Amino acid sequence: MFVKYLTGFLLALSGALVAVWLTIPLPWLIGSLLLTAITKTAGVNSTSHTVFRNIGQWVIGTSLGLYFTPEVLNIISGYSPFIFAGMVFAILLGINGSLILRKWGHVDFKTAWFASAIGGASEMANLAEKNHARTDLVASAHSLRMIMVVVSIPFAFKFLNISGNYPGTEALYFFNTSGFFKLIILTSIAGLIFKKLSLPNPWVLGPLLVTILLTGNDTILTYLPNEISKLGQLFIGWSLGDKFGPDFFKKAPRYLSVVAISNTLNLILAFGFSYLLFLVSDIPFPTLVLGNSPGGIAEMAITAKVLSLGAPVVTAFHVSRMVFVLLITSPLYHFFEKHLKPKASIKHRTD
């Protein structure tokens, strides 16, 4: 097993280094993700472990918290209406995707619903299992969604020559060895508590909460060196790519093709919706795109952080959306299922 982990790490690292050499955007994330996914699909015997993804998420959650100074928190509070609009938009994207998957993906409504919800992959898979949906198809849909969003948006920004000018707040701080270990202990305790309580994304949100509470009260223990940030990105890219295997695209090719089409449409809609918000707010358009994109909190926050596109604002959008989607997805499913069943039975009788 150790050899499989070592092989996986070396492949992820190689992919990241090649991406750096090729000047690919977000090289430590995208490079490790792509080479891992390609080699796994080709049948290479490598693997990752949840511990590595947890470490990567810890790095992201902790480093993001360093942005949330009192001034930034005050600015974000003024964006509440736009953040709420993004939450509603995410639900509409999920509804749209479920209708597309149900009609053309040849799956039942429950599977289409949880596969299309713009929420965490593990949380949606758990909800799918509780409601007797196809968890394998739900998980594969979210894996494909994540890799499409993570890869396409940075390349689109590079093609459109979009860059940010948000300052890297952590650059204002100094590294402190004692403070670093204190931060590790405090944030790790929070992550373990969130994990124990079965809260979503515990290793992002636990450390993020602790660091926000510290930074928001002008208590800065240290900053995270750039090397640690790169390692976190590599671990997340590695874990995302590890979800793919030799049979990934062979399980249900039609279904995954429809998922890809649905994701592409959702990305286009996200760009359009973000432009509408841009017209009525003072939030930069690229920041809104990342905040409203159908990607995960860690991946989109990394993108915002590395490209200086307003990581705190993007984080606020995604954290709010994640909680909202998680709370409303299951009740909405039962509501729609109740109203769709009569129609299905009537159609069955008339056929």
Confidence of residue 342 (pLDDT cuts 50, 70, 90): very low
Q: Which pLDDT tens digit goes with each residue over 131-155?
A: 888 888 888 888 889 889 988 998 8
pTM of the model: 0.84
Alpha carbon 278 to its chain centroid, in Å, reads: 22
Confidence of residue 350 (pLDDT cuts 50, 70, 90): very low
Residue 21 has pLDDT above 90, yes or no: yes
Q: In terms of Cα–Cα distance, which of 263, 44, 229, 57 is closest to 147?
A: 263
d(C-alpha 129, C-alpha 169), whole Å: 41
Residue 26 has pLDDT above 80, yes or no: yes
Residue 170 has pLDDT above 70, yes or no: no
Structure-model confidence comparison of residues 25 and 291, the more confident one: 291
The pLDDT score that the predictor gives to residue 308 is: 82
Confidence of residue 346 (pLDDT cuts 50, 70, 90): very low
Structure tokens at 57: 């998420």
d(C-alpha 350, C-alpha 332), whole Å: 28
Q: Which pLDDT tens digit goes with each residue over 227-267?
A: 898 999 999 989 988 888 888 777 788 899 999 999 999 99
Whose tokens are 């995954």? That residue is 256
Give the count of alpha carbons within 13 A of 54, CB side only.
Answer: 14
User: Nearest 5°: phi and psi at 175?
Assistant: -75, 135
Q: Under 8 Å CB-to-CB from 5, ≥6 apart: which residues?
A: 46, 47, 48, 49
Q: Which pLDDT tens digit goes with each residue over 69-121?
A: 888 888 888 999 999 999 999 999 999 999 999 999 989 989 999 999 987 77
The pLDDT score that the predictor gives to residue 134 is: 86
Structure-model confidence comparison of residues 130 and 36, the more confident one: 36
Mean pLDDT of the chain: 87
d(C-alpha 203, C-alpha 200), whole Å: 9
Q: Under 8 Å CB-to-CB from 177, ≥6 apart: which residues?
A: 222
Structure tokens at 17: 């280094």
DSSP symbols for 12-53? HHHHHHHHHHTT-SSHHHHHHHHHHHHHHHTT------HHHH
User: Nearest 5°: phi and psi at 164?
Assistant: -110, 170
Confidence of residue 175 (pLDDT cuts 50, 70, 90): confident
Residue-range domain boundaries for the chain = 52-234+247-350
The pLDDT score that the predictor gives to residue 67 is: 84
The pLDDT score that the predictor gives to residue 92 is: 94
